[in-house]
Amino acid sequence: MTRKRVNLSNFTLRQMMEMEACTRCGECIKACPTYTEAANEEIHPLQKIARTKDFWKADHLGLLARLFGIKPAAEETLETYSKGVYSCTLCARCHEVCPVQIDTRPLWLSMREQLVDWGLYPKAFDMLRERVTTQYNISGDDNSNRLVWTDNMDRVPGGLYRKKGAETVYFTGCVGAMYPRVYGIPQSLAQILDRAGENFTTLAGEEWCCGFPLQIAGMSSHVEALARHNVESVREIGARRLVATCPSCYHMWAHEYPQILGESLGFEVLHSTELLIGLIDRGRIRLKGFAQPVTYHDPCDLGRTSGIYEAPRQVIRAIPGIQFTEMADNREMSLCCGGGGDAEMADAELTAAVAKRRIEQAQQTGAAVVISACQQCDRTLAEAARKNRIRMRAMDITELIWQCMQE
């Protein structure tokens, strides 16, 4: 069977130019966390760009491409290319070190769109697409269970069910709302906001997946409907701001939705750490000390992808007497925890190796707790600590703050 030609509309004009601008200097190879672990030539950014250029040139430049030795790709080559593209955690560390400043993460997403066009993607994504487009969440549970995380709370804050006129909407995200291991995150933020006297609510069953998992799978055509529904739901409540604990949800709301919908949302979008530092600065929450030494892991979607590095650090430093040590690689150069990019679906062993390196780096700081601001990083790091017998706890920043607010 002959494959379809590369559909260039999966790429933007700027990306076409960026691929030509790649100098093949190899800085990205040194920085790539998955290549470091796998040493598979198909994974690193330089190779992905070189392959993609060869594919489109072979398909679109005809005789000229043949003249310069560019041949159409064999089926086997396309499969290894797909494996390389989907093994990427989308951490965007390659962008930070690129001397040409190629906007790599969106480029990897465009490659995934092309691979979905060709049907060359991990089949687990079909189930993900099915769940998100029919049940509106990644777990496949009934979406009306979005507030199930409140079930075991001693005291459930009032007004969580789509309270009209609430000033703040808390977007819990699929993982926070439906995966018991991280219920502590929405529970903590809800209690913090309640204690701070914030007028807040959630979208409850009207909260649909933000679309991030589909966007990074290369299935972005399904995202607009999700975005439109979510934005309309917040507008119906009349909130002034939306807050998310999940950095991926935050990224979608703050950076992708306005572009996808082609309009301003009409309300402020904050990550929970930005809201927390605001509340701390105004004295609306009071913190006690935290006895154990901590370090902080920058989630890729919050740091490199969304540009938020300082708010979480300010929140941690606001805790009286806290012992906080940075890891060797932090902020823009932070190492990925391995949990991003849906890469676990393509190669779980590889992402576990990436996580191991990060938790070992956290251990080197002498900290007993690694703080993050992402439920996925928490899960991946905790798992890595357990598997590698490292005595270190992973904790979300909202859980840390709630703990520091206890009497």
Partner 1 sequence: MEHDSRLTIFWIVHLIMLGLFVVEVLFIGLVWFRSRVPWLPAKASLLSKLWAVIGAVLGLLFSRRIGPLLRSLVVDGMLHRRLYQKDRRRWLAHIMVFGAFLVLGIISTITGVVVEFLPLFGMSPDKAASLPLIGQLFHADVWWVALVNELLGLVVLAGLILIIYRRYVQKDPQLRTITADSILIILLTLVVIGGFLAETFRLLADYTTTAGVFAPAPGMLSPAKFPAVLNRAWGPQWGFLGYGLAWLLGLLKASPGVWKFCHNLFFWLHFVVVTILLYYLPFSRFFHVIMSPVIVAYNTMRAEEQAKHRRGHGAPQLAA
Q: How far is the CB of 397 from partner 1 (least distance, A)?
A: 16
Query: Cα–Cα distance between 394 and 383 in angstroms, integer?
Result: 9
Q: C-alpha distances in angstroms, 86 versus 108, 112, 117, 209, 267?
A: 9, 7, 14, 21, 34
* Cβ distance to partner 1 smaller for residue 15 or 295: 15
- Taking the alpha carbons of 136, 171, 302, 181 in that order, is the dihedral positive or negative? negative
Contacting positions for partner 1 (CB under 8 A): 8-18, 20-27, 29-30, 41, 46-47, 50, 60-61, 64, 67-68, 97, 99-103, 198, 241, 259, 268, 270, 274-275, 277-279, 281-282, 284, 307
Q: How far is the CB of 179 from partner 1 (least distance, A)?
A: 28
**Full strand arrangement of the beta sheet holding 294-296:** 294-296, 369-372, 393-396
* Cβ distance to partner 1 smaller for residue 17 or 153: 17
What spatial distance separates the first Cα and last Cα of the chain, rounded to whole Å? 68
At residue 370, what is the residue type?
Answer: V
Q: How far is the CB of 354 from partner 1 (least distance, A)?
A: 19
Encode burial over 353-377: b for 16+ CB neighbours within 10 A, e otherwise: bbbbbbbebbbebebebbbbbbbbb
Q: How far is the CB of 6 from partner 1 (least distance, A)?
A: 9
What is the three-class DSSP state of 143?
helix
* Cβ distance to partner 1 smaller for residue 280 or 374: 280
What is the three-class DSSP state of 33?
helix
Q: Choose among 24, 29, 52, 53: nearest CA to 41.
A: 29
Q: How far is the CB of 60 from partner 1 (least distance, A)?
A: 5
Q: How far is the CB of 225 from partner 1 (least distance, A)?
A: 16
* Cβ distance to partner 1 smaller for residue 277 or 367: 277
Q: Choose among 163, 155, 220, 216: nearest CA to 191.
A: 155
* Cβ distance to partner 1 smaller for residue 68 or 76: 68
Q: How far is the CB of 381 from partner 1 (least distance, A)?
A: 26
Q: How far is the CB of 2 from partner 1 (least distance, A)?
A: 19
To the nearest 10°, the Cα dihedral for 383, 356, 250, 242? 40
Q: How far is the CB of 319 from partner 1 (least distance, A)?
A: 18
Query: Cα–Cα distance between 42 and 122 in angstroms, integer?
Result: 16
* Cβ distance to partner 1 smaller for residue 60 or 288: 60
* Cβ distance to partner 1 smaller for residue 270 or 316: 270
* Cβ distance to partner 1 smaller for residue 27 or 360: 27
Q: Choose among 242, 187, 185: nearest CA to 210.
A: 242
Asked if residues 216 and 112 have their Cβ atoms less than 8 Å apart, the reply is yes
Bridge partners (DSSP) listed for residue 201: 169
Query: Cα–Cα distance between 3 and 157 in angstroms, integer?
Result: 55
* Cβ distance to partner 1 smaller for residue 38 or 209: 38
Q: How far is the CB of 3 from partner 1 (least distance, A)?
A: 17
Bridge partners (DSSP) listed for residue 309: none
* Cβ distance to partner 1 smaller for residue 277 or 355: 277
